[in-house]
Amino acid sequence: GEDVEQSLFLSVREGDSSVINCTYTDSSSTYLYWYKQEPGAGLQLLTYIFSNMDMKQDQRLTVLLNKKDKHLSLRIADTQTGDSAIYFCAETGGSQGNLIFGKGTKLSVKP
Amino acid sequence: SAVISQKPSRDICQRGTSLTIQCQVDSQVTMMFWYRQQPGQSLTLIATANQGSEATYESGFVIDKFPISRPNLTFSTLTVSNMSPEDSSIYLCSVEETRPVTDTQYFGPGTRLTVL
């Protein structure tokens, strides 16, 4: 079945770039998404990429998609303490039209 | 995007009791989902809340344990019945929109449930 894998933790210093990686299994996914969950909050849609694109840039965020390897990454430039959160990768393709989520990567930003 | 609210935002309940969680959307939506996020885990779909008919449950979730109502296109409830400590989770409702792209899902703030 569908599965989305992410590393669980990432720690960076303020001002550095963060790269969060994700692998997925469903090659028929139309879109892939990145969501952010701050402590005590719900999921906020950060960005998405269409499956026939290689890259998408949105201000400090860059999404790279390697469809051959089913690998997705999210790069955050100039990481700030306010970027500390859990980041979820998600693909379309759930049996009910739902999204399939990874376990989330907890990003810690040190001053 | 749709604005989604949930009530309650958090609760602490005794085992054996039931809790009903409400999800309200500020616009009419066709697809509404309920997810569970257990501590340190990913989001798992419980069911799709269908307006005017029974909810569609994922494998491992049953109507007797998680009854769902969807009386109209802006509102749904999820009940967690006969709770045990294993039900301690965050419960999130989400809606599907076609903006910015099809299949985009937006989430409510979640209900944080602790069962003692």
Mean of pLDDT values over B87-105: 87
- Over residues B40-86, the pLDDT tens digits come to 888 999 999 988 889 999 999 999 999 999 999 999 999 999 999 99
- Nearest CA of chain A to the CA of B16: how many Å? 26
- Nearest CA of chain B to the CA of A76: how many Å? 21
Q: How far apart, in whole angstroms, are the C-alpha atoms of residue B64 and residue B53?
A: 16
Q: Record the tokens describing residue A38, joined without a space.
A: 């701050």
Check whether A29 has a pLDDT greater than 80: no
Torsional class of A81: left (φ above 0), alpha (ψ -120 to 50), beta (otherwise): alpha
DSSP calls for A30-47:
SEEEEEEE-TT--EEEEE
Q: Mutating which of A32, A96, A103, A106 best tests the B interface, going by the most B Cβ atoms within 10 A?
A: A96
Residues contacting A64, CB < 8 A, separation 6+:
A54, A55, A72, A73, A75
